Chain A
Amino acid sequence: MWVVLFSVQSAKRVTDRMQSKTWKLASKVYVSPTILYPGVKFSQTDMIGYLDAFGYTKTESKVPKTGQWRKDFNRFLIGHRAFRDVNEEQSARVVSVRVDTGRVTGLTALDPTGLESSIDTLKLEPQLIGMISGDKLEERTLVSLNEVPQTLIDGILSMEDRKFYEHSGLSYKGILRALAHNVFRRGGKQGGSTLTQQLMKNFFLTNERTMSRKIREAVMTLVAERLYSKDQILEAYINEIYLGQNRAVAIHGFEQASQFYFSKPLPSATLSEQAMLVALISSPGKYSPYTHPKEALERRNVVLRVLLDEGKISQADHDEAVKEKIEPRGKKETQRTVPYFIDFVRAELSTRFESATLKEEGYSIFTTLDPILQEAANASVAEGLVSIENKLQSKNKNKAAAEETKAEPPIQVALVALDPHTGAIKAMIGGRDYAQSQFNRVWQAKRQPGSSVKPFVLARAFTPDASGRPHATPATILVDEPATFSYAGQEWTPGNFQNKYFGRVTVRTALEKSLNVAIVNLAASVGLEDLTEFFRQVGFSNVSPVPSLAIGAIEATPLELARAYTIFPNEGVRANPVSILSVSDPEGRPLEQSSVTLERIIPSTVAYVVTQVMRGALDHGTGRASRAMGLKGEFAGKTGTTNDYKDNWYVGFGRDLLAVVWVGYDDPRSIGLTGGATALEIWTRFMKRAFQKDTPGEFLEPEGVEWEEIDPELGCVSRSKNLLREVFLSGTTPKKCP
């Protein structure tokens, strides 16, 4: 009775497990494919790095096969593999890429006859940057039996179960023979279990060597053999077998093992590599090419000899494979460099997918991240923090104070970069060390943005009201003297940085020097209610109509600030940040696709005028240190420093790239330095790297603006010597100077 019940129960367990969704597959997160075209920045080092990272093998063949490449001077000939793009499959083809002086100079595709024809673009395989997996921490990529090289199948059967297609699941003779083989024959041990038995053990059972476990295994084996074909069992085995460990994550299945050890899909593995994978079956730890290369080599050679002895490979193939070195080259550990972004993506998806679904269904998630810009951000933040800490230490001249500083929590940082036209998030750093703190300051930390909101005051002031006239222009004179402002029965007296006041200044000067009182006066002329409503429209939340709003007495995350700032380089249109392009199931069926959401906030003319004022703030205002660091090209931006120096900001942009940097302590306290001394440095390093050997595009001048030469102090049209060329909305140029 017990046997019958157990058999019925086993049948159900086996069928449940062998159904199509038996495995818990982690979802994989990719960047969007890099697109090459003539003229794009991409060096020979970048190309070799890409080929290496994706397991392309160097060859001397005239025409490389799929998965191979060769180099002739500056020309890379590549047997490019098929791969899945964001929305479609890209087919395999042979391409030629010429790379000179750090750029692609030519692209051609070769047809089967060898005829070359030029192509305009080439998409590279998307880089895997992370996984979203469950607690069990397994990595697995499914492969169907017909995709598995025959020599690999032969190797598995020869080493583990020669009579697989003949026996009924349990090989009694095999068990006895294995015992005899292990005792009397040299080299090459054979296990006593059939593949089916091994599969059942992996699915359900432990490694304990007890009689009861053996009996349970036998029953399940017989059930599986009854219900499923040999090919189905073999395919399940190939996808299930444990083949190693990637730190805390178990590697299951030959496809995943091929990716882990050789950075290539299983069909592209060489005979030597296939033999190496088969060698791992009996003991992945003992024969790992990473940790035991000598043992791995010996075991691989055993597999090759067995294949030769059984006539599965020729002598020539055997000899060539034996000569091949085992060079494991697992995929670059990029997950460690983008953990904050992966968390952000996971959080975004969790609003639309169940957590268990993401961890178990094996989705492919294509994101907007740019790996080159992410690397630039990583390096810039690392270098910038060293520099900032040196500055902090040199400020603390008292040794005791310096010692106290060392014991305190370290200063933190956040950086987010995005394309302002599409909102695509290109780089993200949520903190200085993910291992220490997973708190993502880019989107979770609400801090006061301080002076970095002043450009929005200008934007509102420059926007024409119902009468068609703006409240101010860049040349409007503002009063910058100590003043007290009254509102709602209260009084407030703002102060300027270092208590310096400049009397009568233009709006431009007020922004360039970040003069608090002058800007508050500007805000008062617009009207607090009006300004508050505008700030809400821009995207700031919890905004109140108080004068200190004009100098940043609100709370915002770096991501919110980045979103708001897109209106300036994007001609008055706000682009909402986007991180996920598409989600598809393991079969490639799209489950979700997303793109940018846009909204016009201000006229393009106003956006342009404010941008031109911000260019001045960067060139010779509070952001001028960036030019001293060697930054070239058209950039605009604004520093931000809150009261008592608790938050340091720099928000800046070129035409096609915007970045926000925040520096501060998690428990708000004074840094003792300004945004121009901390955040600006990191931002500048990042932009210099991003535009290395490139120049940013020019800001597009819209119709409806005009330029006029004015006196920079009086703000009127002048023909005297000391002139400034200023931009205005058409019809709002100032009068001539008396």
Chain B
Amino acid sequence: MPITYRSYGAHVSPPALDKLDAESTLQVASLRTCFVRRLTRSKSACSIHVWACFAGLLIMSGCVKKMAPFVPPPFEKAVQEERDPKRLASLRMVESGKKELQNFRLERAAQEFSRAIEIDATNPYAYFYFAQTRMRGHRMPEAVDLLDQAVARFDKDVKWKSEALTLRGEVLESMRDYARAKVSYQSAVKAYANNTRAKQGLTRLSSEE
């Protein structure tokens, strides 16, 4: 069961990820071995082992779920599922902007996101990725303002809203505006309780207080 982590910018990689992955793989391998043995050996000894492995796997899944880094649904999914032509046209501009951003052509990316906003000023993704562009260009105050606007537009999508708030917190943290960063992380957790990255942000800020 591979665990995928999607990076959006200034993120901290969860250190336990690789270990979790290895342990999960080990559990699956054990279970497979058990079933093979079950065919060849006595029932009772192997069945206890099987159930023990199965129980362990269940517990581990719960832990993985709790400890796995939070990721919102992929942007591509939003594009695929969009039916409003105006929003779709705007999302296509965002796609174009993301390509420019990936190639570090920041002003071109900014222009594409601006165009996306001009087509549909309610498109939250345009503001979100525009903020990332500004982050890459070290224009942090603008990134914060754009994330504010993204958050306001993600009102129904709690995962993306939480992601935008988390990113906002990280930007504010990089600007040493710890008070506002803390508020951002708290809002992120309030929006989506399983946001581990936001929780880690709060932990970091608590340790610095």
* Set B93, B107, B149, B153: member contacting A573, Cβ < 8 A: B149
Report the separation of the CA atoms of residues A310 and B139 in the bound assembly, to the nearest whole angstrom. 66
Q: How far is the CA of A573 from the CA of B110 in the complex (A)?
A: 17
- Asked if A593 meets B141 with Cβ closer than 8 Å, knowing A37-B85, A120-B89, the reply is no
Q: How far is the CB of B144 from chain A (nearest CB, A)?
A: 8
B153 touches A700 (CB 8 A): yes
Chain A residues within 8 Å of chain B by Cβ, number: 33
The answer to whether the Cβ of A87 comes within 8 Å of any Cβ in the partner chain is yes
Contact of B121 among A32, A121, A697 (CB under 8 A): A697
Render A589-609 as a binary contact track against B, CB cut-off 8 A, 1 for contact.
000011111111000100000
| CB-CB nearest in chain A for B142 | A598
- Please name the residue on chain B nearest to A366 by beta carbon: B111
Would B149 and A422 count as touching, CB distance under 8 A? Answer: no
Is B107 touching A593 in the complex (CB atoms < 8 A)? yes
Is there an interface contact between B141 and A121, defined as CB atoms closer than 8 Å?
no
- A35 near B88: Cβ-Cβ < 8 Å: no
Nearest A residue to B118 via CB reads: A419
Does B202 sit at the interface, judged by CB under 8 A? Answer: no
* Nearest opposing residue in chain B for A106, CB measure: B85
Q: Closest residue of chain A to B152, judged by CB? A: A702
Q: Does residue A433 face the partner (Cβ distance < 8 Å to B)?
A: no
**Residue B164 is within 8 A (CB to CB) of chain A in the complex:** no
Task: Report which residue of A39, A595, A697 has the largest number of chain B beta carbons within 10 angstroms of its beta carbon.
Answer: A595
Contact with B along A116-127 (1 / 0, CB 8 A): 000011000000
In the complex, which residues of chain A have a beta carbon less than 8 angstroms from the beta carbon of B153?
700
Q: Is B49 an interface residue (CB 8 A)?
A: no
Q: What sequence of 0s and 1s flags, for each residue 94-117 of chain B, a beta carbon within 8 Å of any chain A beta carbon? A: 000000100001011011101101
Q: Are A571 and B149 neighbours in the complex by a CB distance under 8 Å?
A: yes
* In contact, B142 and A595 (Cβ under 8 angstroms): no
Cβ of B173 within 8 Å of any chain A Cβ, yes or no, is: no
Whether a CB of chain B sits under 8 angstroms from the CB of A458 is no
CB distance from A727 to the nearest CB of B (A): 16
Contact present for B141 and A422 (CB under 8 Å): no
**A656 is an interface residue with CB less than 8 A from chain B:** yes
Residues of A597-635 contacting chain B, CB below 8 A: 597-600, 604
Nearest-Cβ distance from residue B189 to partner chain A, whole angstroms = 16
For the residues of A in contact with B, the DSSP-based class is: loop
Contact B118 A422 (CB under 8 A): yes
Smallest CB–CB gap between A120 and chain B, Å? 5
Residues of chain A contacted by B88 (CB below 8 angstroms): 37, 120
Q: Is the CB of B107 within 8 A of A40?
A: no
Does B61 sit at the interface, judged by CB under 8 A? no
If the complex has contacts A581-B111, A700-B152, are A599 and B121 also in contact, measured as CB distance less than 8 A? no
> Does B145 count as interface, using CB distance less than 8 angstroms?
yes
**Per-residue contact bits, chain B 118-147, to A (CB 8 Å; 1 contact, 0 not):** 110110000000000000000001101110
> A interface vs B, CB < 8 Å?
32, 35, 37-40, 86-87, 120-121, 419, 421-422, 424, 571, 573, 581-582, 593-600, 604, 655-656, 697, 700, 702-703
18 CB < 8 A contacts A-B: A35-B89, A40-B86, A40-B89, A86-B111, A87-B100, A87-B105, A87-B108, A87-B111, A120-B89, A120-B92, A121-B92, A422-B117, A424-B118, A573-B149, A593-B107, A594-B107, A600-B144, A700-B152
A-B pairs, 5 with minimum CB distance: A37-B89, A595-B110, A38-B85, A593-B107, A422-B114
| Interface contacts beyond A424-B114, A599-B145: sample of 13 additional A-B pairs, CB < 8 Å, sorted by A | A35-B119, A37-B88, A39-B86, A87-B111, A419-B118, A422-B114, A573-B148, A582-B111, A593-B108, A597-B142, A600-B145, A600-B148, A604-B148
